[in-house]
Amino acid sequence: MSNSVNHQSEGDGSFPATDKLMLSNVTHEVESGAGESQQLDDSYKESFLMMLAEKADEKGVEPEKFFSQVQQYLKFMPDYIPSFDDEQTIEDDSRMQIDAHVKRKLGDALGGSIPKPPPGFRYISDSLYFEAASGPEVVSSLIFAGSRGYNAETGEWAVRLVFLDHSGDPVIMDIPAQLMQKQGELVKLLLSKGFRIFRTGGKELKEYLMSVNPTKRMQVFHRQGLVTSREGYHYFILNGEVIGDEDAEIMYLPQGTNGYRANSADKGTLDQWKANVAAPCSRSPMLIFMLCVAFVPIITKALGRSSFAVALHSESSSGKTTGLQVCASTIGPGGDPSRNQLTCINNCRHTNNHLEVVAQAYDSQPLLLDEIGMSEGKDVGQMLYMLIDGRGKGRMGPGAGSGAYHSWHTIPVVTGEQSFLSFIRAKDGSLKNGHIARVLDIPVSQETMIVPGVGQTGAALADMIKEQCLEYYGTAFKSFTKDFIDTATKEHGWFSSLKDELETLAQSFRSKVDRSHEKRAAEHFAVIRFAGKLAVNFGVLPFSQDGIINAVDTAFEAWCGGLEDKDELEYAIDGVREYLSRNQHAFINPQADAGSTRHLGYKMQENGVECLAFEEATLDGVLDPTIRRNRVYSRLHEQGALLKLSDDRYTVRRTVPGKGNLKLIVLRLDFLSA
């Protein structure tokens, strides 16, 4: 008997009634041709196929395509009736004979029962089989697409694959959904993780994986650190582990396979770290301060506070690097970078492009940079400001479109032999109030950084702490993060109470300084003390609350002592003074032939006062373009250096032979020697 499937649909796209009536004939024909011994009840199968037809009708599926799918379905698995929500499991099929221990391991990894295979495939023992005409043929290890995930930030989908490796251990592998179509790359990746493939080419494996449709949906994030789900729950992705994800709702899939990986891991237990690393720091206030700094980034990100940087400076052998190592031990190995030891401390010899990648890897964690003096060029201020700001440069993407940019939230911690502000000036870099307000420039000494006990030298204490930072690490930050996420989940409104408490503390620090940019900087010490307090409450730091207060106050007093009585305008004026002093020879008598003489400005008298006069463009390249000139002129006028001969402007009009009527800035000549 021959039944053609080349029927046309009705004008409205629906199936003709005659096509629907022929479904039972198709069923009988294909079953008899396939020679299968196991048969389903005809009336049940016909009823199910009629439902499929109605579904296809609703979705506008062409009749030819529908009948072709029905024939394929009946040919390979005449007794397989899939549910519409794809939730049938192998428990519904007696022919699936998976080993008990394999079923248990895979079920645990999947977080539920093992799904039933698509038509044409079978699970036997610990392997996937393809239903060939001659009988089942082995394809590969058992593998399952446990869930699909969506990244709302990038708009891309991902798939979670689950299988057992050569040792019989579960492997959970998250991959971009597009990799499912790149068979060669996918097979290579699977093999590297211990997956077994028995059929060359992997054609059946691809057909199998493309046929499954997991119902579970997850949210995908491509960066580490603190993340928030669309439902408002907080999680922390650390070394690929999603902290707080008890229900497996979050998938971590970093962009690119060859990107920078943060050198963070853990070794030993939290108690061992507390006894061997933290406890020996108990007499050293600046080491305790550095431990408090380690827990700041997750707090500032969670509460929506701005980032800042900590810059420790002093001559050599004061313990700066030891302080970095202690801080590093909270998140990963704390080796000494100058000795090429395993460490999560970076050096400053990076391009800004590379630092963007490094900063994103340390999102919600401190970014530790040793010896800022190794940085090249005058853009070090811009580099640190970029790290604080948390956003890299935009770049062109494929097709001349706008590409992705790196973003992060971290607290940079740098060391140097001179203050950060002095370093910028020495490099002829620009200095702004933002640098002063967002960089805590703290001078340190061995008397506060390394304080030994009775019968112990500072050098011996420092060496012992350095050694222990390589033996016990990575557990403190992880423990703090778990408690932080757990408390935020269980206590409704906890973040609001933290904000209120932190604001009260910040006001206390603001009241101790005078200038506005110093007050903004002082707030950061409040966050550091608050982080230390939480770490003590969580049982992470083995100190008293008084010990935390004393440590942060010590650092605050050192910072205050190192403050220069200048702001960004004063530094800008210093630059103007230096430039004009260096080029006095280029100021000429305005009665000279100005048109034939190369010059910057003019020497003249105003109301009996010797002055230098010049056009505003003369200061191009001298003043930072981000600082409004009128602010500089106003400050110069307040200091009596700028002669403001009109109430409504800082310039005057003067006629210069050969140049005409010019608009000039007029400064007293004695400004250069002030």
DSSP letter string, 359-420: HHHTTTSEEEEE-GGG--SSTHHHHHHHHHHTB----B-GGG-BPP--B---EEEEEESS-H
Among the listed ranges 5-14, 70-79, 399-408, which one has the minimum average pLDDT value?
Answer: 5-14
Model's pTM, two decimal places?
A: 0.72
Contact indicator for 326, 465 with CB cutoff of 8 Å: yes
Name the nearest CA neighbour of 239 among 219, 264, 256: 264
Pairing of strands 250-252, 217-221: parallel
Q: Report the pLDDT value the prediction gives residue 620, as an integer from 0 to 100.
A: 80
Which of 198, 191, 119, 120 is closest to 161 using CA atoms?
A: 191
**Half-sphere exposure in the Cβ direction for 284 (13 Å, CA):** 31
* Whole-angstrom distance, CA of residue 205 vs CA of residue 186: 10
What the block records as the tokens of 529 is 């003390």
CA distance 668 to 639: 11
Instruction: Between 629 and 475, name the one with better pLDDT.
Output: 475
Query: CA-CA distance, 340 to 338, in Å (whole number)?
Result: 6
Q: Do residues 520 and 306 make contact, with C-beta atoms less than 8 angstroms apart? A: no
CA 14 – CA 19 distance, rounded (Å): 10
pLDDT higher than 50, residue 167:
yes
Residue 590 confidence (pLDDT): 84
Residue 630 and residue 650 in contact, taking contact as beta carbons nearer than 8 Å: yes
CB within 8 A of 302, min separation 6: which ones?
A: 226, 234, 484, 488, 495
Give pLDDT, residue 537.
98
pLDDT at 432: 54
> What would the pLDDT profile of 645-662 be if each residue is shown by its tens digit?
777 789 999 888 878 899
Tens of pLDDT along 309-318?
A: 999 998 777 8
530-585: pLDDT as tens digits = 999 999 999 999 999 999 999 999 999 999 988 876 677 887 888 899 899 999 99
pLDDT in the model for residue 593 = 65
Contact yes or no for 381/430 (Cβ under 8 A): yes
| pLDDT category of residue 2 using cuts at 50, 70 and 90 | very low
Query: What value does the mean pLDDT take over residues 101-106?
Result: 91
Q: Using 50, 70 and 90 to split pLDDT, how confident is the model at 521?
A: very high
Over residues 415-428, the mean pLDDT reads: 75
Q: How far is CA 108 from CA 91, 142, 172, in A?
A: 15, 14, 11
Helical packing angle, 545-562 and 516-537, nearest 10°: 160
> Are the C-beta atoms of residues 357 and 402 closer than 8 Å to each other?
no
Q: What angle do CA 45, 49, 53 make, to 5 degrees?
A: 170
Tell me the residue ranges of DSSP E strands in 153-278.
156-164, 170-176, 217-221, 225-228, 234-238, 241-243, 250-252
Average pLDDT score over residue span 229-244: 91
Distances (CA, A) of 299 to 239, 264, 367, 531: 19, 20, 15, 7
Q: Which amino acid is at 355?
A: L
Percent of the chain with pLDDT over 90: 50
Q: How far is CA 242 from CA 222, 246, 482, 599, in A?
A: 12, 9, 10, 65
Is it the case that residue 449 has pLDDT exceeding 70?
yes
How far is CA 234 from each of CA 410, 484, 489, 535, 637, rounded to the nearest angstrom?
A: 17, 10, 7, 19, 52
Backbone dihedral angles phi then psi of residue 380, each to the nearest 5 degrees: -65, -35
Reported as a pLDDT band with limits 50, 70 and 90, residue 378 is low
Contact, 59 vs 84, CB < 8 A?
no
Which is more confident, 247 or 308?
A: 308
Confidence check: pLDDT of 524 > 90: yes
| Tokens (6 digits) for 629 | 């000139």
Could you tell me the pLDDT band of residue 404, with boundaries at 50, 70 and 90? Answer: low
Res 663 pLDDT > 80: yes
**What per-residue confidence (pLDDT) applies to 78?**
40
Mean pLDDT score across all residues of the chain: 83
Whole-number Cα distances in Å, 594 to 137, 405, 661: 95, 50, 13
Q: How far apart are the C-alpha atoms of 142 and 127, rounded to whole Å?
A: 5
**Mean local confidence (pLDDT), 417-428:** 73
Query: How many CB atoms are located within 10 Å of the residue 216 CB?
Result: 15
pLDDT band for position 73 (cuts 50, 70, 90): low
Please report which helix (H) or strand (E) contains residue 537, including its range. helix 516-537
CA–CA dist 385, 365 (Å, integer) = 17
pLDDT over threshold 70, residue 408: yes
pLDDT band for 425, please (50, 70, 90 cuts): low
Residue carrying structure tokens 């350095």: 466
Query: Nearest-5° angle of CA 550, CA 554, CA 560?
Result: 140
As a whole number of angstroms, the distance between CA 162 and CA 169 comes to: 10
Average pLDDT over residues 445-453: 92
